Amino acid sequence: SQLAQPQVAIRRKLIAAARLAKIAHARNGRSLPRAWFVTDPTRTPDPAVIAARLPRGWGVVYRHFGADDRFATGARLARICRQRGLVLLVSADPTLAARIGADGVPLGC
């Protein structure tokens, strides 16, 4: 399916930014993603749809803000991230992160 014109421009900018960014390394030597998709329950009610279209090597920060469906949405998102080789962080919720098998928890998002 074709993306709307504003989405094409946004995607182009994100890909360009990812190419310009330097790769950071975690203490264990694993490369961190150069680009991140940060979810928002209002703006991206189904983040799995977007995650399924992200290029390999990106990261996803799942911010649920206490949504009732956070466990189901998080589990679906985690499954897609594993399949696509994306890093998944669950914002400020270590319990949810552990339950869905996320890669980590940023506490300041």
pLDDT digits (tens, 9 = 90+) for 78-107: 999 999 999 999 998 999 999 999 999 987
Is 85 in contact with 59 (CB distance < 8 Å)? no
CA distance 87 to 12: 21
Q: What is the pLDDT of residue 31?
A: 74
pLDDT digits (tens, 9 = 90+) for 18-64: 555 444 444 445 578 889 999 999 999 999 999 999 998 899 999 99
CA distance 88 to 44: 16
pLDDT at 76 over 90: yes
DSSP secondary structure letters along 17-80:
HHHHSPPPB-TTSPBPPSSEEE--TTT-S-HHHHHTTSPTT-EEEE--TT-TTHHHHHHHHHHH
Most confident of 2-16, 23-37, 63-77: 63-77
Section 72-76 average pLDDT: 97
pLDDT at 109 over 60: no
